[in-house]
């Protein structure tokens, strides 16, 4: 009992920055140490760790003090084994944009800060024949606490079904609500696309084109839909000849733009489904001697790093990726903390970031 205070002084700062030097012989303390020091059973210590309401306030205080003093942190592995569920969150992704993946990780990590959770990453390929098998292994092997699914794998119903069968909670990030409110972070891509449409219309453009992502992507559909609606608000229509499908890649954007430029009259503004394709549009315009924004206005989507690496700087629709990651992880935690709470839909609205790539049409 006398060995438990080292400094003897008042409460040491936070969790004791650097206890003993490299004396790694000082093993981490366990629930047993705490129990002994507090003169209670380990079960009671377990109760305070797990925030059980059935602990006398006085007991709780005493135990928490000792926990603080020793810098005790329950072993997630042992806890996991007993709980039959780990303290690990998985992030499953197939988004090709590296910045998206890294920002999302950051956001999830933000939500886990100061918890004992860890973030396990898992890329995937929906086209692979072992896709579902791999995902099942990933989830079952680690007895994941929960999983966050980013687009476009978040749209895969087979995966969602599998997770449900495996009793693994998941939060899906997508442009519209695909499942229960408790499991969704919806990004309303259509709203951002509509804003882009209004902006272009406002500038006076009449011949406005769109290059969408592949039809298999929900986001591609939503962005087109929102754009079309935004145009309609201003009495404009997205003409079929001005409506091309790309692949969300640089090359497909350039190819679609070339087709568009061959039209007469050619469009004076293009809304690309993502920044990659917008970069392709820049390239095609450059090759044809079309100046941006004088001869052609361009708007992208994603506000990825490339948007500020092009000249003129690309105006683009931005989604708060990192924040989305944080929200998704928080949903997972809420569901656990307060008995299935956090059930409201989580929503996010994209915003148009204005830069230098748009101007009134030259003839205006």
Partner DNA sequence: CTGAAAGCGCTTACAG
Nearer to its own copies, 80 or 214 (CB): 80
203 is in the binding site of which of its own copies, DNA, none (Cβ under 5 to 8 A by kind)?
none
Determine, following the binding rule CB under 7 A, whether residue 81 of this chain makes contact with DNA.
yes
Nearer to DNA, 83 or 311 (CB): 83
The answer to whether residues 248 and 276 touch, using CB atoms and an 8 Å cutoff, is yes
User: To the nearest whole angstrom, how small is the minimum distance from the Cβ of residue 334 to its own copies?
Assistant: 22
- Backbone φ and ψ of 150, nearest 5°: -100, 160
Q: Secondary structure of 172-209 in the HEC alphabet?
A: EEECCCCCCHHHEEECCHHHHHHHHHHHHHHCCCCCEE
User: To the nearest whole angstrom, how small is the minimum distance from the Cβ of residue 201 to its own copies?
Assistant: 29
Query: Beta strand 88-93 with 297-301: parallel, antiparallel or unpaired?
Result: unpaired
213 is in the binding site of which of DNA, its own copies, none (Cβ under 5 to 8 A by kind)?
none
Residue selected from 12, 16, 79, 136 as contacting DNA according to rule CB under 7 A: 79
Q: What are residue 172's DSSP bridge partners? A: 149, 184
Q: In the complex, which residues of this chain contact its own copies (CB under 8 A)?
A: 15, 17-18, 22, 24, 28, 73, 75-78, 80-81, 86, 88, 98-99, 101-103, 105-106, 109, 116, 118-123, 132-133, 137, 140-143, 161, 165-167, 250, 279, 283, 286, 305-306, 308-311
Determine, following the binding rule CB under 7 A, whether residue 43 of this chain makes contact with DNA.
yes
Determine, following the binding rule CB under 7 A, whether residue 339 of this chain makes contact with DNA.
no
Nearer to its own copies, 194 or 211 (CB): 211
Nearer to DNA, 28 or 133 (CB): 28
The answer to whether residues 275 and 99 touch, using CB atoms and an 8 Å cutoff, is no
Determine, following the binding rule CB under 7 A, whether residue 82 of this chain makes contact with DNA.
yes
263 is in the binding site of which of its own copies, DNA, none (Cβ under 5 to 8 A by kind)?
none
Determine, following the binding rule CB under 7 A, whether residue 113 of this chain makes contact with DNA.
no
Task: Give the binding-site size for DNA (rule: CB under 7 A).
Answer: 32
Tokens of 223: 């962005």
54 is in the binding site of which of its own copies, DNA, none (Cβ under 5 to 8 A by kind)?
DNA
**CA nearest neighbour of 124 among 137, 134, 116:** 134
32 is in the binding site of which of DNA, its own copies, none (Cβ under 5 to 8 A by kind)?
DNA
User: To the nearest whole angstrom, how small is the minimum distance from the Cβ of residue 182 to DNA?
Assistant: 21
Return the sign of the alpha-carbon dihedral for residues 61, 66, 72, 74.
negative
294 is in the binding site of which of DNA, its own copies, none (Cβ under 5 to 8 A by kind)?
none
The answer to whether residues 174 and 186 touch, using CB atoms and an 8 Å cutoff, is yes
Q: Which residues contact 245 (CB under 8 A, 6 or more apart)?
A: 211, 212, 213, 214, 215, 220, 256
59 is in the binding site of which of its own copies, DNA, none (Cβ under 5 to 8 A by kind)?
DNA
CA dist 350 → 10, 98, 269, 354 (Å): 50, 19, 21, 13
Q: Decide: helix, strand or coil at residue 123.
A: strand
Q: What are residue 300's DSSP bridge partners? A: 316
User: To the nearest whole angstrom, how small is the minimum distance from the Cβ of residue 93 to its own copies?
Assistant: 9
User: To the nearest whole angstrom, how small is the minimum distance from the Cβ of residue 176 to its own copies?
Assistant: 26
CA dist 230 → 9, 148, 197 (Å): 66, 31, 5
Q: Which residues here bind DNA, judged by CB under 7 A? A: 27-28, 30-32, 39-47, 49-50, 53-59, 73-75, 78-79, 81-84
């Amino acid at each position: 009992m006398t060995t438990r205070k080292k400094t003897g002084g008042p409460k040491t700062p936070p969790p004791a920055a650097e206890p003993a030097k490299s004396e790694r012989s000082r093993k981490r303390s366990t629930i047993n140490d705490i129990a002994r020091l507090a003169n209670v059973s380990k079960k009671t210590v377990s109760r305070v760790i797990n925030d059980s309401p059935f602990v006398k306030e006085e007991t709780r205080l005493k135990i928490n003090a000792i926990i603080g003093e020793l810098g005790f942190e329950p072993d997630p592995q042992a806890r996991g084994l007993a709980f039959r569920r780990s303290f690990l969150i998985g992030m499953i992704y197939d988004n090709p944009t590296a910045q998206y993946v890294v920002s999302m990780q950051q956001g999830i990590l933000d939500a886990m800060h100061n918890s004992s959770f860890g973030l396990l990453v898992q890329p995937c390929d929906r086209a692979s024949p072992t896709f579902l098998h791999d995902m099942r292994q990933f989830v079952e092997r680690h007895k994941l606490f929960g999983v966050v699914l980013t687009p476009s794998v978040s749209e895969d119903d087979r995966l969602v079904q599998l997770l449900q069968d495996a009793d693994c909670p998941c939060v899906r990030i997508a442009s519209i609500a695909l499942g229960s409110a408790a499991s969704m972070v919806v990004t309303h891509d259509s709203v951002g696309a509509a804003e882009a449409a209004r902006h272009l219309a406002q500038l006076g453009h009449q011949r406005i084109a769109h290059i969408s992502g592949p039809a298999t992507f929900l986001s591609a559909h939503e962005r087109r839909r929102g754009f079309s609606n935004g145009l309609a608000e201003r009495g404009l229509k997205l003409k079929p000849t001005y409506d091309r499908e790309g692949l969300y890649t640089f090359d497909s954007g350039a190819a679609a733009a070339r087709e568009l430029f061959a039209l007469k009259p050619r469009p004076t503004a293009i809304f690309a489904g993502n920044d990659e394709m917008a970069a392709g549009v820049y390239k095609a315009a450059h090759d044809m001697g079309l100046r941006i924004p004088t001869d052609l206005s361009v708007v992208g989507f994603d506000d990825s790093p490339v948007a500020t690496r092009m000249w003129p700087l690309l105006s683009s629709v931005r989604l708060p990726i990192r924040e989305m990651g944080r929200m998704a992880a928080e949903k997972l935690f809420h569901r656990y903390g307060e008995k299935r709470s956090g059930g409201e839909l989580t929503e996010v609205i994209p915003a148009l970031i204005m830069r230098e790539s748009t101007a009134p049409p030259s003839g205006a």
